[in-house]
Amino acid sequence: MNKQKWLDRALEKGFEAAEIYESSSRSKEITWFEQAMDKMELSQTDSASIRVLDGGSLANTGLEKLDDAIMDEVLDGLRQQAATITSEDRTQFVPPMETELAVKDKQWTVPETAQVKELLADLEARILAYDERIFQVTNLAWSQSEGTRSISNTLGLATGDEDYVQYVMAGAAGRQEDRIQDWYLIKVVPDIAAFDRGAFVKELCDEVLSRLDATSIPGRTCPVILHREAMTSLLGAFAGLFSGDLISKGISPLKDRLGEKIFSDKITIVDDPRNLDALTIANFDDEGYPTGRKLVVDHGVFRTILHNQQSAARMGTESTGNGFKGGYASPVGVSPMNLYIEPGEESLRQLEKRMQDGLVITDLEGLHAGIDFVSTNFSLQARGYLVQGGRRTQSVTLITAAGSFMELMNDVIAVGSDLDWSYRQLAAPSVLFGKLAISGQ
């Protein structure tokens, strides 16, 4: 695909502006099952999309065939699409903008296939030998992936980003009498030689075994710690609260609340696509607008609405560099990237001691069906463990946690120190709350 030829042709046809977004990905995955390599999959994907402004209307299409021969056909189709658009929303394309680029210095040692096979075989043997109650390795895989994206437009913008990651994933199942429980664990592995296999196996197997004696408990309202995994899930479900698109449409309950105190003063939330502690970074969003660190919530006060170009224009402000696509052919939406709750100073164990008696929730399920975004009410299946006298005791399952996200975030006792980016683009540490309603047996 000759990008400049496409852009020049768009201008010749009278479009106000045109933009080409290209993405590519390469991946290698090796899966292991019963002492042998199950399969090795190599994949490569190259794709593009083109957006145009025509008569003030924005049209977009994905290109599966990157062929200059279909250039006029595609551009004419976009003109027809633009003519059917009745939205009053207007957007602008991004010109080149000066910005200091963040550079991630994480070093990756790419292993040979033989090294990966040795790792997976060793992990399988260690997992099965860990405890007689562990009877099966349910999944075991190594994955490497790299991706690039680039954005060019008729205003002279030409920019892009690239990323790389490799990780190991393992799952195990345990049996005790008539109970069977399983769990899985994913870890980013920059270098196989430095990977702590024993710690990985211990973390996986201890969690499986701890779930074998899990039971339900009578309903109660009690102090609760949302473990970082559960807290991350809940924050992710309500991250749209800060979206300029949803706020401008009146869907988010934070409409007209900028500058107001919305959460406990112990809560500070940051969105930073350039955060070098996160797994991936982005110097530009998918519209080519430079990204940067935003203080979304500052000690409970709502400070920043996240915007792309379109939502910013709708609200009479500027983009915050949060215009991201769900896929190469998707329209640009408003999304956080590397959004996180700033950690406190207490470990999870210290939070448990502070709580004394209560419940730690480690998992939340049903996040798509169990939340009401407008009211922020939620009712979610959960599991975790009881804490009595500041110590972990009984594992708990088959319970439901219910409440209001807005109310919960105003009932914060302490924020933990255990923030872990791992393989995420949104993260939270464990948080101790004053109370939460739990229903069970």
Of the ranges 56-65, 112-121, 141-150, which one carries the lowest mean pLDDT score?
A: 56-65
Confidence of residue 135 (pLDDT cuts 50, 70, 90): very high
Q: Rounded mean pLDDT of 345-349?
A: 97
Distance CA 160, CA 23 (A): 9
Q: Which DSSP letter does residue 260 get?
A: S
Say yes or no to pLDDT of 425 above 80: yes
Distance CA 181, CA 171 (A): 11
Radius of gyration of the chain (CA): 24
pLDDT reported for residue 105: 82
Say yes or no to pLDDT of 308 above 80: yes
162-191 pLDDT, tens digit per residue, is: 999 999 999 999 999 888 999 999 999 999
pLDDT reported for residue 189: 96
Angle CA 238–318–325, to nearest 5: 50
pLDDT reported for residue 441: 73
Say yes or no to pLDDT of 89 above 80: no
46-60 pLDDT, tens digit per residue, is: 889 999 999 888 898
Confidence of residue 362 (pLDDT cuts 50, 70, 90): very high
SS3 435: strand
| Beta-sheet pairing, 17-33 with 36-54 | antiparallel
* Burial letters 103-131, b for 16+ CB under 10 A, else e: ebeeeeeebeeeebbebbeebbebbbebe
pLDDT reported for residue 87: 72
Domains along the chain? 3-84 (no CATH), 113-146+160-210 (3.30.2290.10), 220-235+343-439 (no CATH)
pLDDT reported for residue 178: 86
pLDDT reported for residue 10: 94
Distance CA 141, CA 120 (A): 7
Contacts of 267 (CB under 8 A, 6+ apart): 297, 299, 300, 341, 409, 412, 415
Say yes or no to pLDDT of 67 above 90: no
Distance CA 152, CA 143 (A): 30
Average pLDDT over all residues of the chain: 93
pTM score, whole prediction? 0.91
DSSP string, 329-353: TSPEEE--SSEEEPP-SB-HHHHHH
pLDDT reported for residue 33: 92
196-244 pLDDT, tens digit per residue, is: 999 999 999 999 999 998 899 999 999 999 999 999 999 999 999 999 9
Q: Rounded mean pLDDT of 280-287?
A: 93
pLDDT reported for residue 21: 93
pLDDT above 70 as % of the chain: 100
pLDDT reported for residue 424: 85
Positive or negative CA dihedral for 52, 55, 58, 60? negative
243-282 pLDDT, tens digit per residue, is: 999 999 999 999 999 999 999 999 999 999 999 999 899 9
Q: What is the dihedral of CA 53, 55, 56, 57, to 10 degrees?
A: -60
